[in-house]
Amino acid sequence: MSVLICDADGELWYTRAEELGLYSIPMPYSYGGNVYYYDLGKNTDFRAFYDAVRGGEVPKTMALNPEEYVQIIEPIFAKGEDVLYVSFSHAMSGTFDHLDMALEQLHDKYPDRKCTVFDTKSICLGSGIQMEYAAELKNSGASDEEIIAKLTEFRDKVAVYFVVDDLMHLKRGGRLSGFAAFAGTLLSLKPVLTIDEKGSLKVFEKISGKKQALKKMANRVIAELTGTDFPVYILDADCPQEGDSLAEMIKAARPEAKIIRQTVGPVIGSHCGPGTVGVIFIADKRPIPLAAED
């Protein structure tokens, strides 16, 4: 027997996680001198967070320490159960080094137990939609091996597109070079961003202006969306009118799409900043970003 767990960087809304019986590891962030742990929106004060960032507060995220991972995993091992952890992209955080340390500690005490980690190579609901699929498979009776096999195929079909208002947020979080952020801001570029096959942030297309970027994202969904087995997730970081506009463009051309609107949580919001709009859906393949020299 195994217990399926995920993490809050997958952004799967708390009601959906509870419906699926999925435990999500709360991930830490800080601002205003206080540390918080994201609970998938259950008790999160989104207004206070985004108001603080718009007011000049610079939020930070941090890795869980090994002891925190031990506290999460050991009770499961102590019950004689294994762990299947469907995680956000390992390319985006050093927290998984601490997870490895925790598992090394636990191995001495529980040599017969194992923790299998599946890297979704995505973040936000690009990861969350895979967590959702894994939970559905688990609840239908699939084995860990079957879940991993299906997720490996599914992972390459998760399309993520998003646009940010201020590239400097990504620069501060180490997600974008200082020169690229400065040049993009100076030129008023609103590049459409994506997640590559390694789970890293990349530019998909360089766009001038937010409205054009939203239109470009809508057109990608309209052209690439495959079926209605999975929802189209549209997220906004304190800019609901833009998120609604994107949803309306998609719905007008693909009325069969099941669109779910959601707010970007504070952990992801710490890196992308207010004004970010993103869309996650299932396509035939993951988007191919621009080459570095482009």
pLDDT digits (tens, 9 = 90+) for 212-252: 999 999 999 999 999 889 999 999 999 999 999 999 999 99
pLDDT of residue 208: 82
Q: State the pLDDT at residue 171.
A: 47
Q: Which of 217, 197, 218 is nearest to 205 (CA)?
A: 217
Helix (H) or strand (E) run with residue 183 in it:
helix 178-186
Q: Check pLDDT > 60 for residue 183.
A: no
Can you give the pLDDT at residue 112?
Answer: 96
- At residue 206, the pLDDT reads 84
Phi/psi for 136 (5° steps) reads: -60, -40
Q: In the CATH scheme, what is the code of domain 158-282?
A: 3.30.1180.10
Say which range, 94-98, 107-111, 198-202, 253-257, has the weakest mean pLDDT.
198-202
Long-range contacts of the stretch 103-108 (C-beta < 8 A, 24+): 103/69, 103/73, 105/66, 105/70, 106/70, 106/73, 106/74, 106/77
pLDDT tens for 103-162 read 999 999 999 999 999 999 999 999 999 999 999 999 999 999 999 999 999 999 999 999
**Closest to 29 in 3D by CA, of 65, 62, 76, 78:** 62
pLDDT at 202: 86
Strand partners, 24: 6
What lies within 8 Å, CB to CB, of 222 at 6+ separation is 249, 250, 253, 254
pLDDT band at 290 (very low <50, low <70, confident <90, very high): confident
Does 167 or 9 have the greater pLDDT score? 9
Architecture of the domain spanning 2-155: 3-Layer(aba) Sandwich (3.40)
- Measured CA distances, 47 to 9, 24, 54, 55, 158 (Å): 19, 23, 10, 12, 29
Written as one letter, the residue type at 199 is G
Over 70: is that where the pLDDT of 294 sits?
A: no
The C-alpha atoms of residue 177 and residue 156 are separated, in whole angstroms, by 26
Q: Residue 79 forms beta bridges with which residues?
A: none
Enter the DSSP assignment of 32: T
Query: What ranges do the domains of the chain cover?
Result: 2-155, 158-282
Could you tell me the pTM of the whole model?
Answer: 0.92
Query: 83 to each of 20, 117, 128, 157, 287, how far by Cα in Å?
Result: 16, 8, 18, 25, 31
Q: How many Å apart are CA 99 and CA 116, to the nearest integer?
A: 11
Is the pLDDT reported for residue 267 higher than 90? yes
